[in-house]
Amino acid sequence: MNFLHLINPLYSVSGFAVGLLVGFTGVGGGSLMTPLLVLVFGIHPTTAVGTDLLYAAATKSVGTVVHGASRTVDWPIVAKLAAGSVPATALTLFALSHFSKKIDTTHGVITTVLGAALILTAVAILFRRMILAFFAKRVGEMEPGRVTAITVALGAVLGVLVSLSSVGAGAIGVTVLLILYPKMPAARLVGSDIAHAVPLTLLAGLGHWMMGSVDFHLLFSLLTGSIPGIIIGSLLSSRAPDNVLRPILASTLALVGGKLIF
């Protein structure tokens, strides 16, 4: 009964909807949940990011189990991404904690980075095919060593973005992975990206928790909806109306991102 008292139905419904989208597309977790918490529910941006990071770690752990059972995770790629993201996340968290006393500055930085990350995510979602075609013509097949180096660098960039805004691991990560590994099935890259997001968001979320920017009542309510949502979404991902879903998702993220910046 005490646990039921902790559940806020509105947060749980929001968690279910976002979890469903994450399972369908591999994107939409931080891209939707953080701005939803900030703009709709009035949660402080720092608390929204910190809470969303632990929320993402839990939901994507479930998604990783589902994708792992379906053998749609390439663990060497996950390891390369983590080699860049883990140290970058640690350094970003150190910088955040150093400037945490400057509340107004930190608030402004997080809001601006969140807005910019949302717009980049929207571009990556909406113009993915054009981006992939552009790089396929001009880059071609790269040497394995160069691919590995870029993958590690991608992990580092995602570590910074996710630590500051909880956004970027999905659409941006998957788009770049599709460029780097054009012969690998898209489902396997999506699964690898989701698996990599687990240690990334867990580390970043624990860092925010140590800084006091996690609301556990909010987190519990979100998880009660998101866990069944991501299971259903992952199992039914092959039936997702991709051509309809992606433009709507991209347009929403671009509008929200613009509002946060301006």
Confidence grade of residue 26 (pLDDT, cut at 50, 70, 90): low
* Whole-model pTM over 0.75: yes
Q: How do the domains of the chain map onto residue ranges?
A: 2-261
In the prediction, which pLDDT does 71 show? 84
Which pLDDT score, from 0 to 100, does residue 241 have? Answer: 58
Query: Lowest mean pLDDT: which of 32-46, 73-87, 89-103, 199-213?
Result: 89-103
Quick one: which of 106, 123, 104 has its CA closest to 31?
Answer: 123
Q: Which residues contact 175 (CB under 8 A, 6 or more apart)?
A: 124, 128, 131, 132
Q: What is the pLDDT of residue 8?
A: 85
Phi, psi of 165 (to 5 degrees): -130, -10
pLDDT greater than 50 at residue 1: no
SS3 of residue 198 by DSSP: helix
CA neighbor of 262 nearest in space, from 38, 112, 80, 134: 112
CB atoms within 10 A of CB 139: 12
184 confidence band (pLDDT: 50, 70, 90): confident
- Give the integer Cα–Cα distance in Å for 210 and 41: 23
Helix axis angle, 216-235 to 9-25, nearest 10°: 40
